[in-house]
Amino acid sequence: MTRPSSESEIRKITTEIQDLKREKDAIILVHNYQRPEVYEIADRIGDSLELSVAARDSGKKTIVFCGVDFMAETAKILSPDARVLHPVPDACCPMAHMITPDEISRMKERYPSAEIVSYVNTTAEIKAMSDVCCTSANAPDIVRSCSSEEVIFLPDLNLASYVQRFTPKKIIPGRGNCYVHDRITPLMVDNMRAFHPGSPFVAHPECRPDVIDRADAVCSTSGMIGYCRESRASSFIIGTENGMINRLKREIPEKQYYPAGGVCTPMKQITLQSVKTCLEKGSGEVNLAPDIMEASRVPLEKMIRISGKQRNISCRENNASLQDIRRGIV
Ligand code: 13P
Ligand code: SF4
């Protein structure tokens, strides 16, 4: 779908969307990786955990989710009475489709006593087969809360290996990865450090282990905001999807950010025009089978319950002290 090109076009469509939002009793939830003009129509901008909770608590008739498929599905599961609209239904996170129900069944047969922790970057069918979900903001805490000594952790191999650093439990990982984060290499990080001496390297936990080893801090996307705000440094190398740079500039404009990641194309499929169209026509409605909705709500609610009880650490300094950085909720 085309993007408005001039400032005046953007202003016009933004006003139209605000009017439609009131008319339809809608809330617009926007992931940190979205385009900067999409931030301007947001009621809430955040990471997966923040937006899941916002969807559950919205109380609105309609939720428009500007993010990828699994995020809109999660909003529907947690807010089943709301109409959830995904402006571009084929904006799909490839990682969320890297594990199938058959594969989970086989793993469960092989490790019958292991609890299944699934990253929110999964389909509703996978969540429905899981004991508990997690996001990048709470994965180590969620795994530590499991009662089994073996934990099947799906689908991200890199996040599984990150979690393994924090627990003696045996983590049995999936084989998925994110093409945006997995392409960041140690050499890229070393080169960027050489160009920007004194800039801490902040990595998302979907990065490869040898990249995590080089990070000064490892954070969920919103956790990065808290870290950069609290750090004494004035510039940072950011190891995640490049759209995060816009969010950081918006929240902490006085500091500088150097992107080390790439572009998540599905995230960028959503435009102001697609949001306006879905609000006008009610298109892109998320519909899930009732039994899948019921079953997948259990691990999601459990995650939110555990996260609420614990002091979530959405950002960790990358040293053994696990120093808690204030959560980056804005
Ligand atoms: P966050 O929950 O940290 O925003 O991550 C979501 C995601 O898809 C990262 O690639
Ligand atoms: Fe999926 Fe990676 Fe895009 Fe996140 S950045 S939505 S994990 S493809």
Q: Is 74 in the pocket of ligand 1 (CB under 6 A)?
A: no
Q: Is 37 in the pocket of ligand 1 (CB under 6 A)?
A: no
Structure confidence at residue 56 as a pLDDT band (50, 70, 90): very high
Mean pLDDT, residues 11-39 taken together: 97
Summarised one tens digit per residue, pLDDT across range 262-271 is 999 999 999 9
Q: How far apart are CA 143 and CA 159, in angstroms?
A: 12
Nearest to 34 by CA among 22, 48, 23: 48
Summarised one tens digit per residue, pLDDT across range 290-321 is 999 999 999 999 999 998 876 556 778 775 43
Determine the pLDDT at residue 315: 77
Q: How far apart are CA 7 and CA 1, in angstroms?
A: 18
Residues near 319 by beta carbon (within 8 Å), at least 6 away in sequence: none
Structure confidence at residue 6 as a pLDDT band (50, 70, 90): confident
Summarised one tens digit per residue, pLDDT across range 148-195 is 999 999 999 999 999 999 999 999 999 999 999 999 999 999 999 999
Domains parsed from the chain with CATH numbers: 7-92+267-287 (3.40.50.10800), 95-177+292-313+321-326 (3.40.50.10800), 184-259 (3.40.50.10800)
CA 327, 189, 99, 29 torsion-angle sign:
positive
| In the predicted structure, residue 327 carries a pLDDT above the cut 50 | no
Give the ligand 2 atom nearest the CA of 67: 6
Determine the pLDDT at residue 311: 55
Structure confidence at residue 1 as a pLDDT band (50, 70, 90): low
**DSSP per-residue string spanning 189-249:** HHHHHHHSTTPPEEE-TTS-HHHHTT-SEEE-HHHHHHHHHHSS-SEEEEES-TTHHHHHH
- Residue with CA closest to ligand 2 atom 1: 93
Q: How many CB atoms lie within 10 A of CB 249?
A: 14
Q: What is the CA(8)–ligand 1 centre distance, in A? A: 32
- What's this model's pTM, rounded to 2 decimal places? 0.94
Q: What is the CA(9)–ligand 1 centre distance, in A? A: 30
Q: What is the gyration radius of the CA atoms in the chain, in angstroms? A: 19
Q: How many CB atoms lie within 10 A of CB 59?
A: 10
Please give the structure tokens belonging to residue 271: 């435009």
| Residue 257 per-residue DSSP state | E
